[in-house]
Each structure stands twice: as C-alpha cells, then as structure tokens.
Structure 1
Amino acid sequence: MTRWYGKLLGVVIGVALLRSRPLLGAVLGLLVGHAFDRGWFGLGSSGRRSGPASPRPERDDPYAVLGVAPNASDAEIEQAYRRLISRHHPDRAGGVEARAREINRAYDRIQALRKPK
C-alpha cells in the first residue's frame, strides 16, 4: 500500500499558506508531500533512507556494489565491472572518483575471494 497522506496534507497546507494563489500552493504542497511519502527526508519507514547518517549496506557486500549475484560467473562479474567503471570513471563527464574507487575495491575483493588457495 502506498502512502498518500503526505500529499493530501501538503496540498491542504500549501493552499492555506498561499491563499492568494491556491493552485500554486496546491502544486507545491503536492510535490513536498510526494517527497515526504517517498521518504526523501529520512522520516518514516517506506523511503530509501532510514536516517540522515545511515551507512550504505551494499559497501559491505562487493557483489551488491557491482549489482551481481554471489553465484554469478566470472564473465558476468567482469561485464558488470566494465559497465560500471566506464559509466563512473573520473575522466568521463559526470564521473565520480569516490564511486570509481568503490567499484574497483569491490571488484578486487571479489577477485581475492574467488582466487584459488
């Protein structure tokens, strides 16, 4: 079940606050209410974040960083690594060095885990 009361409350408050332009108030309130319902402010349990300083659980799991299952083949892991690193490489426009480092660490960790002893 999706949450809807944030949108309703946002519309009502928006109209009340912007009485001179109620349509604008309703639209702005609807947008803020939607963001609240989706959990973008870190309030509630249905959103992506559980709080302002929540650690990313996928950092502990190198397979989650690459977006593959733990039982994926070496070829699938290699393909996922190449796709992600080409998308997030710092030399590309919009590439983020921290994300590229995270991808490299995850790939290196998987290679170390799969290396025969």
Structure 2
Amino acid sequence: AGSTSASRQTYVTGGAVKHSCEAVREKVLDIGRRKLGTYHPAWATAELLLEDGKVVTDGGEVLASLAEVLEDQAVDVELEWRHRPTEPFDLRTGQGNGHVQY
C-alpha cells in the first residue's frame, strides 16, 4: 500500500488525536459532574468547556479548575478511530464518496 505520509497521514493522525481529546474532555466533565455537580446546577444544565485549565460554562462562568476536578486522578482512554466509509464512484454520474477528503 505504500508509505503513510503527507495529507493522508495528517488526516488520519489528526482525526485520531481529535477523537481522543474529545473523549478525554468528556471523561473529565463526567468526573466533575459526579464529584462537584451537586454544588452548582450548571454542571447538569450548561454546555461545559475546558479552557485555560478550568471547566467553564459556555457563558464563561468558571465552575472549577482541572486540579479541583481531577485531584490526583489520571484520565486514561483507549479508542479506535476510523475515517468515514468510502465507496466507489458511480460510473454513470461520476458522483460518490471515493476518497475521505471528498
């Protein structure tokens, strides 16, 4: 199949890293909800983000630092990521998802 380099490698590696980071974020937020959710209703109702080492609402309210959420707990995820499926082009119309970048 040849080497994995250039844009193909960037796309696949980038997709795997993005997927892993999203999973870590969700795990951190789940830990925070379980640990600190009873102290502030925003843990259950707001869209939460990780910014500058803090858990914040989408309105910018700081709920906790990552250190407060995690304490000495490590976050470990193991995932598999694959690009979306491809299929042969339609020979009559030339349309289709023949490559992950199309």
* TM range, smaller chain: under 0.3
Structure with the bigger RCO (C-alpha within 8 Å, sep 6+) is: 2
| Structure with greater strand share of residues | 2
TM-score normalized with structure 2 length: 0.24
Relative to its length, the structure with more helix (as a share) is 1
